[in-house]
Amino acid sequence: MKYIIQLIMVISMVAICGVYGEVAPDSDKLDKFTKDGIYKYADIVNSITSKLVNVTGVSISSGYIFVDGEYIEPPYTVSSSNGIEYVNDVATRKWVVWPPRDWTVAEKPQLPPYITKDSDLDDLSNQQDRLNGYRPRLSRYFKMRYSEEEAIEKYIAEYRKIPYVASLEREKGNSKNATMTTTKGITYLITFGSIGGKAPYYFSPPPSKKTVEAQIEYHRKKHESVLEKGGVLFILTAKNKNIIPLAGKLVAAELPVILHITTSTMTTEEKITELMQLKLLNAYSTGLWRRFVDGWNISQELTKRIEKYGDPATLHARRKQKIKDEIEQKRIRKAEQVIKQEEYKQLWKELHPKNKRR
């Protein structure tokens, strides 16, 4: 049975180039951010994978592999062909290109209409949109068109137009800091370190055939090493297709616990909850674990191989107690952190009774 699983790898396409002086909106410097440019880049990278050297891995009798909960018996081989990594006959990783984010700001951003003279700095700091809010977009608009000094000056000029800004004075000596006072009389220290400097470019030269081969070989050897060390490869088929290597005998020792959970009389939801608490695949959705539970098969070969780690029921009870202890320790640390934060806030109020610094 052949399982086809593809993991999209994100190829970094971020390089930094300086852009100084006035840059017209129709300049070819901005053309690099067009969709045509993105897909042309993708075509170049994808064409490389068809010319890669194929690698056949060695036969490995150690380790464990599960595909959607189904145990695959050894021997195992980790190979690569045309940019695709295979574990036995399972295609686990394929090179494709993820288009970069378009960072261009063609027109100067307008101040949000909800900002008034009664607003405050925090009202303009939308933490849910740090990349495309008014301030970061205004920063990129000037950053892509002017030198560092000009960008800061123009940014300050725009800031002075904000209704709640009573005054904004830049520190002497071409400093990147400025003192702003609001209409409410609150003073802030504003830093413009991220305003000027180099404009972002997102098209470094396409990776060479040698670079792509080296990356694929790195992951192939990594998964091969997991198995050679007696570790576990969980392969879960989902929309974003993942191979999840869990290296080392410590993880393999968790298999009796997984066996006990999956073969227990608990409901599927209860099994999923306990499996996620093991923190082996806790970064992934319950849907993946559900597929794992549904596909779990009891193999005499697997039972025989993992019995050396101990009794499943005993190990499960011990693991549950460890999880409870970890949760309690986390609760205590969080409580201590809250106390420290409150102490810090009180100290800050005592030292700065009138002013805030940001």
Domain spans of the chain, in order of start: 1-100+202-246, 121-201, 253-358
Q: In what order do the strands lie in the sheet with 177-182?
A: 165-170, 177-182, 187-191
Q: What is the pLDDT of residue 27?
A: 34
The residue among 23, 39, 5, 7 whose CA lies nearest residue 198 is 23
Is cis: bond before 112, omega within 30 of 0?
no
Give the DSSP H or E segment for 226: helix 209-228
Mean pLDDT, 10 residues at a time, the chain of 358 residues = 31 24 32 49 66 85 86 91 82 62 76 86 62 79 84 90 91 81 84 56 60 84 89 70 62 84 88 80 63 81 86 85 83 81 76 58
DSSP 354: S
Beta strand pairing status for 64-67 and 232-236? Answer: parallel
Q: Which residues contact 113 (CB under 8 A, 6 or more apart)?
A: none
Q: What is the pLDDT of residue 129?
A: 56
Q: Alpha-carbon distance 292 to 311, whole Å? A: 22
User: Position 81: which residue type?
Assistant: S
The 10 Å Cβ neighbour count of residue 346 is 10
Q: What is the pLDDT of residue 61?
A: 92
Q: What is the pLDDT of residue 268?
A: 87
The answer to whether residues 73 and 106 touch, using CB atoms and an 8 Å cutoff, is: no
